[in-house]
């Protein structure tokens, strides 16, 4: 049995209800829209998430 993901609001989210939440695990990162939590989540390999973050901070 796997533990439920620990979701947190991304620090890049705005204060205008344009929010995403992330759940980080050792091998994957899940991303979801806070306005549609039951709608599912995008699951990415950790390496892809880190590459995305590096690109965003340039």
Domain that holds residue 45: 19-31+41-58
Measured between alpha carbons, how far is 23 from 10 in angstroms, rounded to an integer? Answer: 10
Is 53 part of a structural domain of the chain? Answer: yes
Judge whether 9 lies within some domain: no
Antiparallel, parallel or unpaired: β 28-33 and 8-9: unpaired
Length of the chain: 58
The answer to the question of residue 12 being in a domain is: no
Domain count, the chain: 1
Q: What is the pLDDT of residues 3-52, one digit of tens each?
A: 788 899 877 666 666 788 999 888 899 999 988 889 999 999 999 988 98
| Closest to 29 in 3D by CA, of 8, 14, 1 | 8
C-alpha span between 50 and 12 (Å, rounded): 14
Radius of gyration, CA atoms only, the chain? 12
Predicted confidence at residue 14, as pLDDT, reads 67
The pTM for the full model equals 0.74
Going by pLDDT thresholds of 50, 70 and 90, the confidence category of residue 1 is very low
């Amino acid at each position: 049995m796997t533990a439920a993901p620990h979701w947190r609001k991304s620090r890049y989210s705005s204060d205008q209800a344009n929010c995403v939440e992330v759940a980080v695990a050792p091998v994957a990162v899940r991303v979801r829209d806070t306005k549609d939590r039951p709608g599912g989540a995008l699951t990415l390999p950790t390496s892809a998430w880190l590459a995305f973050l590096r690109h965003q901070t340039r």
